[in-house]
Structures are given as C-alpha cells and as structure tokens.
Structure 1
Amino acid sequence: MILIAESGSTKCDWVLLDTLNDKRINTKTKGLNPAILKKKEFKNIISDNETLSEYKKEIKKIYFFGAGCNTSKTKNNVHSVLNSFFKNSTSIVEEDTMAAVYATTSTPAVVCILGTGSNCCYYDGKSIINKSISLGYIVMDEGSGNHFGKELLKAYYNYQMPQNLRALFESKYDLSEKTVIKKLYQSKTPNKYLASFAPFVFDNKEHSFMETLINDVINLFIKNHILQYTDELKTVPLHFVGSIAFHGQNYISNQLKKQGLNAGKFIQKPIDSLIEFIKKENAVLQS
C-alpha cells in the first residue's frame, strides 16, 4: 500500500492507496507541522488515528507533503517519525509547496498557497524557486488565514469594526481579553488559533467592511509575493491552492486583473490531484 499525506498547520489529509485492488481509504488528523510540533507529539497524533494504526504494517511507501518541511532538520524529523511508526515503509518528505505544484501543474508556473499560512513560488518544470524566505506567521504569511485573524482582532479591539459586525463577532467567539491573550501567547499553535477567525470573514463577505478587509489583505499578498514573479508571469500561468484561496477566488481574480494578471486554477484541497500524480509516477516506475 502507498500512503499519501498532505498537511498544513491545521489539518492533515491522508489517503491509503491499494494499487493492486485500486482501493482508496481516506482519513484525517490534526495538522502535522514539524516546525511547531515535537517528534513525540507528531507521532502521538499519527498513532491515535485508528485507520493509520490498522494498516501501518501494510504500508510500503509514504509520500508526506507538509507545512514546515522546508529544512533538512524538519524533513529528517518527519522521516524519523514515519519510519519508526510505519516500520515496513520508506518515506519521501517534501514541503507543502511541492504538493501545491503537483496538484496544479506539470509544466512551469507560479503557484501560491493561501491556507492557514501562505507561500508563493516559481516552478521551472523540475524544481521550486523561491524569491523570498518565509519568516512565518508572526512576520509574514500575508493573505493567509492567520493574517485575516490578526486583522479581525485588531479591528475589533481598536473599535474599527462596525457595531453590527462586532455584535455578530462576539456571538461567535470568546473574545475576552484573558482568553485571547492566553490563546496567542500560551498556545502551542497560535497560528491555528488566528486562522480559526478566517471563516467569519468569508461568511460575512457581503458587508462593505469585510470586502475592504479582504481586498486589502489580498493586495498585500500580491504586492509582497506575486509581483516578485512579474517576469515569469509573462510566459507562465498563476495557480492557487488552499481554503483561503478557494473561498476568496473572486476577490483574488479581480485584484489580479488590476495588475494586468490572470488567475489560473483554484484548488481547495490538493490531495485528489496528488493521488493522480503519484499513481502515474508509480505506474512509470513499475513499467
């Protein structure tokens, strides 16, 4: 069996492929970001999943694409955990941007991720080229779920949010100062906490305040990231992956047009396209 994992910081989608019987089993766990989680925590999340535990001896090959898998140290940590739990397997570990690439294109393109976090890269047909180093959710991650969460909280606490939205926001979340500070500064995953506010933005996108907020956040991502690839975009398409990209695609397309750019594909979950890519790759290897 082949095991495929596509993980952000919030959740991880897993697919077990029985290539002999063309059987597919889907399951989910919490997000597995090795830059945030210790190896013990990482392994506990996997072992707590009944499906993964049931089939762990039958899995021969693992493809793990994840947020935080962009250094040799974090990749080695993931290899270590996977190989210790799935003892009969070999593992391939890549950063989440590679999953986004495989899910959208097999030819050169600029590919963006807008989920809990954000990223943007150029794929030259063989490898990923990044023009900026991501410093994570505290400094960067423009256009991401946690960026939207920050902007909402600032607008709420600075009394810039209209009263009708304030009341609705208060009815949906615990916004006591004590709770928010604890979640931001004592939680192991404050980026996930911030991103948990993002659905409120798109649930209320018809409100003029939210429309302005969405456009401002998207424009910052375009300015700081996409426009770094202006030369490449003269000849290659521009694709998007992630829940924020998917729900905000109309806004993204409109703001890109103002820059003379066009959006290509919008994919909410890359896992299905990843499956097809990996099935083809293994078919070639076996032929």
Structure 2
Amino acid sequence: MILIADSGSTKTDWRFLTADTVLAQAYTAGFNPMYQEADEIYKELHEVLVPQLKDERPTAIYYYGAGCSSPERNKRVEDALKMAFPDSLNYVDHDLLGAARALCGREPGIACILGTGSNTCLYDGAEIIDNVPSLGFLLGDEGSGAYMGKLLIKAYLYRELPDDLAQSLKNTYNLTKDGILDTLYGSSIPSRYMATFAKFMHEKQKHPVIRAMIYENFSEFFERHVLKYKDHDKLPVNFVGSIAFHFSDTLKQVAKKYGLRVETIIKSPSEGLINYHQELLQAFGTPDKSEKQ
C-alpha cells in the first residue's frame, strides 16, 4: 500500500491506495519548504493526517509538492515524513513532475500549474526536459491566483479601481491598508493570502476592469513561460490547478491568441496520479529500498 500526495501552498490531497483500490482520501494544509521547516510540516502531519489514516500505514509515500525544487528543500519534507511515518520509504519530488505525470502520462507535452502559484515544464513522456524557472511569489508566479490577487490589491491601494469595484472589494473583505500590509508581510506564506482575492475576481470577471486584469495575468504567463518552449505551437498545452479550472474559458481565449492548443484542464492532478501509480504497482509491485518508481 502506498500514499501519494499532491501538495500546493494552500492544501494537500492525500490518497492511500493499492494496485487496484483507493483505500482512503485525506486532506491537510498545504506545505512549501521554501518557507517552512520540517518541524512545522511534521506538526500538521501528526495532528491532521495520521488520525485520518487510522491504524493504516503506507509502505511508501510519493510526495509531489510546491517548493520541492532542491535537495535541501526536499529533505525538509523527507524529514517530516520520516518523523510521521518512520517505517515508510519516502520519495519527494516537485509538484511539476506530478503535474506532468497526471496530465501527459507517457506522451510529450507542455504541463502547466496554475493555482496559488504557477509553474510550467516541457515533458517528453518520461522526464521533464526543460523548465522556464518559476521565480516564486516575489518575482514571478504569473498566471497564478497570487499574481491575480496582487494585480487587484495594487489597483485597489493605488486608487485605480472604479468606485463600484473598490467599495465592493472593501466590503467583501473588510479591507484597510494597514490590515492588508500587516497580513501580507506578517504571513509565512504571503502567496496564500493574495490568492484569496481570486475568488472576488471570478465573481466579478464580467466587469471590464477585472476582465482586463485576468487577460493581463494569463498573457504574461504565456509570454514569459509557455512561448519559451521549443515546439510550443505544435505540442498540446495542459493545465492543472484551481485558477486554470475556474477561469478556463478566458484561459483558452488567451491561449488561442498565441496560437496554442489547449488539450486538458483539470482542477487536481490526483486522479491522474492515481492511475499513474496504480499502473506501476500492477507492473512492479510495492517498491523496496533498491528501487524508486
């Protein structure tokens, strides 16, 4: 029995499965080792995940997570998993590989994550062969919910929103300048706070000012990321994440402007990852310490 995890900065979706059955589904807060240490991650695992699994324990854990882009960061997650599940084999990799496996399977394509944050890769059907770097919340995250929130809040604080939108935004979130800045700069994961404003933009997406922001968000994403890949106009472009899913109509419109072929848009990679790992279990069985699937 194995446990697979799809972890973003906001939430983590856990699936406990065998080669032919999903035994359990669980949720915890999201993790990002760019901002969090092993002890903080372990606390959530111990207090929230372990009770949901009752007495069952996995023989192996496959964790695909935001921020897992270096050995040092991956080790923070590995250490937390080892504390929570001392007898399991733990494999930690980037959520981008999870997205590529879930979206493309064994076929080549461009895989994109558009959720709280954003990332992309060129996938050859087996491995990630190119990745325009995701620079994170401070320097990048174009296309994401956090970037969308930044566009909205900057316009609000700079008094660039029409009065009707500004008042509606203020009333919805009880906003003050000091409250925004205190929450933003006092948060260990500021992108999570900014992404909360994407819900407002979805509700107001027919307003011309909001529609222009959404177009700007996706246009910057395509120009700074997807268009940099070889054969971007020939390969399918696939998306996973809440922003891609809920703003799919606009996303497709902007993609069409750049001559891109959007093939798949899903909210979560979990179902694709379940299929991927169950196929491996059927072919190879439960891994041991000498093999990594």
Identify the TM-score tier after normalising by the shorter chain: over 0.9
Structure 1: gaps spanning 5 or more residues: none
- Residue equivalent to 1:112: 112
Asked if the contact 1:131–1:228 (Cα under 8 Å) also holds between the matched residues in 2, the reply is: no
**Separation in structure 2 between the aligned mates of residue 12 and residue 29 of structure 1, nearest angstrom:** 5
Q: 1:104 to 1:178 in 2, by over 3 A?
A: same
Q: Compare relative contact order (CA 8 Å, sep 6+) and give the higher one, 1 or 2.
A: 2
1:209 corresponds to: 209
- Aligned positions of 1:159-170 closer than 5 A: 159-170=159-170
Query: Is residue 8 from structure 1 mapped to residue 8 from structure 2 by the alignment?
Result: yes
The one-letter amino acid paired with 2:153 is L
Match of 2:265 in 1: 266
How far, CA to CA, are the matches of 1:145 and 1:99 in structure 2?
20
Match of 1:254 in 2: 253
> Do 1:109 and 1:239's aligned partners in 2 also have CA atoms closer than 8 Å?
yes
**Quick one: structure 1 residues 56 and 152, their matched pair in 2 at CA, closer, same or farther if it must change by over 3 Å?**
farther
* Aligned-residue RMSD, C-alpha: 1.7
1:168-218 deviations in Å (ceiling 9; x for gaps): 111211311221111111111111011111111111111111111110111
After superposition, give the CA deviation of every residue in 1:232-281 in whole Å (9 maximum; x if it has no partner).
22432110110111111111111111122221100111111111111111
CA distance in 1, matches of 2:107, 2:51: 33
How much has 1:58 moved relative to structure 2? 2.3
| C-alpha contact (below 8 Å) 1:47/1:53 kept by paired residues | no
8 Å contact kept, 1:12–1:29: yes
Cα distance, 1:125 vs. partner? 1.8
- CA separation of 1:233/1:132 partners in 2, compared to 1, >3 Å: closer, same or farther? closer
Question: Aligned to 1:14, what secondary structure does the other structure show?
Answer: strand
Judging changes above 3 Å, is the alpha-carbon distance between structure 1 residues 50 and 256 closer, same or farther for their aligned structure 2 residues? closer
CA distance in 1, matches of 2:53, 2:172: 38
Assess if the C-alpha contact under 8 Å between 1:141 and 1:147 holds in 2.
yes
What is the Cα deviation at residue 52 of structure 1? Answer: 4.7
Shift of 1:124: 1.4
Letter in 1 for 2:30: G
Could you state the TM-score of these two structures normalised by the residue count of structure 2? 0.92
1:56-104: per-residue Cα shift (whole Å, max 9, x none)? 6621110100001110111122112112211221011110101111111
- For 1:45, the equivalent position in structure 2 comes to 44
**Any runs of at least 4 consecutive aligned residues in structure 1 with deviations exceeding 6 A, and if so which?**
none
Deviation of 1:50 after TM superposition, in Å, equals 5.3
Stretches of structure 2 that go unaligned for 5 or more consecutive residues are 287-293
The 5 Å alignment of 1:1-287 reads: 1-19=1-19, 22-49=21-48, 51-52=50-51, 54-55=53-54, 58-105=57-104, 106-229=106-229, 231-286=230-285
Distance 1:235 1:32 in 2: 35
After superposition, the C-alpha distances for 1:31-56 in whole angstroms (9 at most, x for unaligned) are: 01111111110000111115556446
Give SS of 2:33's match.
Answer: coil
Shift of 1:24: 2.4
* C-alpha contact 2:82 2:90 (8 A) present in aligned 1: yes
Write the distance in 2 (CA, Å) between the matches of 1:43 and 1:80. 8
- 1:146 partner amino acid: A
CA distance in 2: counterparts of 1:50 and 1:187, whole angstroms: 23
Residues 57 and 87 in structure 1, CA contact (< 8 A), matched pair in contact too: no
For these two proteins, the number of residue pairs brought into alignment is 285
CA 1:227/1:94 → structure 2, altered by over 3 Å: closer, same or farther? Answer: same
The SS at the match of 2:259 is coil
Q: Which residue of 1 aligns with 2:291?
A: none
Percent identity, aligned pairs only, is 34
Deviation at 1:228, TM superposition (A): 0.2
| 1:112-137 C-alpha deviation (Å, 9 max, x unpaired) | 11100001110012211334222211
